[in-house]
Chains A and B, each alone.
Chain A
Amino acid sequence: MENLLDVENLWVKFPTRTGVFDAVRGVSFTLGRERLGIVGESGSGKSMTGRAILRLIRNPGIVEADHINLEGVNLLKKSEKEMRAVRGQRISMVMQDPKFSLNPVMTIGDQIIEAYRQQTKASKSEAYNKALEMLEAVSIRDAERVMRIYPHEVSGGMGQRIMIAMMLIPNPEILIADEPTSALDVSVQRQVLDIMDKLVKDRGMGLIFISHDLNLVADFCDRVLIMYSGRIVEVCDADKLHEAKHPYTRGLLNSLPRLDGKDKRLQVLKRDPEWSKTPSVSGRL
């Protein structure tokens, strides 16, 4: 499989008063035209990994890597101005909660049109038509009305579909979805995922799906990286997730309640300090 993205030895560091805190510690993986899941608990560095690829870690945070290659070109060597042409147009990101990730004082239409016109120098009416098309592609009925309303007037599920439309409108090659359904009602999670999945597949994009939900990732992705305290502890195919060997992954799986569960009590995850000392497993293909 050809690689869209190739990350080698990625570190994200934050200098603090008590020394340097490493949020991501030597992570390596590749992404083809596939759905790659990154799973881990809060603070495991999964979101930081996504943001580091887009070089969105702000000062004083530091991103270091041997390379972050996007189709063979190292993103770390690009200037900030060149990076802006990568963001949105080639790599895009959908964030957790549309309540916060949409600008409250701009209409939905203006925000989507802005995303399109940022990269293509399309005319306003061209961008308007494109935005309508995109809203319809994420199953929004009455798109013309939605274009004119504000983010506080839409529901969570609809907001997230709008986010997906906005982030896919410049036709990127890679989408990073950072917990895209965690803030949504369970009843609309599936719908949002299906829409995202269809668009990503139709366009032959690569998807990095960041989540803490093991079952969701097992269902939805092709390959899974399991992260613990800034490192990848295990890599496996999504359909073989239940055969995972690492004690952390096993622990996570065992702490999930099951409808047909025979055990009366769920197991408590016991953390072994050794896990965070062993070097990162490579997620490269």
Chain B
Amino acid sequence: MSEEGIGAYLNPAQMAKLNRLALNSRYVVEGTLAGRHRSAQKGASTEFADHRSYMPGDDLKRIDWKVLGRTDKYYIRRYQDETNLRVYLLVDRSGSMNYSSGTHKTKFNYACTLAAALGYVVLKARDAVGMYIYGEKMDAALPCKNSFNELNNALKVLQGYKPAKGTAGADVMHQIAESINRRAMVIILSDLLDDQPEIIKAIAHFRKNLHDVIVFHTLDPVELNLDLKRGAEFEDLETGERMIADPRTMAKEYKDLMGTFIEDYRKACSEMKVDYRLVKTDEPVDTFVRAYLEERKRLSR
């Protein structure tokens, strides 16, 4: 990989494809700059929010004279404040992310590319993007910035990391949830191969803090279907444990288990109003991001 930063993950053609896309939050967020996302603050804006009764001390120019004329009562007009979006990308570099069944990328590489694409889309919309990289522990916490240089630097940092040996996804996510003090959008890029209830609890922690959470469950196609033709001695990427197995004889049971695993995450996310997406590493990133954002835009109308 001779390129550095965003160029290491996305080529110009892919970036061109992502140019006109935008990642909108489904909930109100708290930003630092004026932007096109709904803010938790009510203030000066062009978008009317509601009325409230006049109280002594209010600015007289905010009285709605038309309502006064109709009702003979004093009401103050309130407007929706608009702010920018802060997006935090949580990139998992646990040992299990270092898997690729074929010619396509490892799950970690795919997650990095996906992070680059999403960061690019966020910055193009003049929103801010930050990044957390974690494996067995929190490896890096890069603050939210609305600058391409900052994104480039963050991706350079990411580029410097390789998948770790183990995983501590749930603990790190709790830690990140505590560290983000204003409502923002949190995007988790992980295979979620950890203690499932703990991971669900961590996601719930983000929601409790009123963050808009998106989970990109990144999996290899072979992980899903166990589409292996020959028996082999399999070695766990995180624990190093080995077992001899003929995948053809147990494919049915494996797929049942994997189906249940995915379905549990999907249901939990659905209950928490978390946007859960299954990402297969054999799909082109730009195609996936484009499809996802268009789908999200369609649903938000």
| Chains A and B form a bound pair | no
Chain B residues with CB under 8 Å of chain A are none
Chain A residues with CB under 8 Å of chain B are none
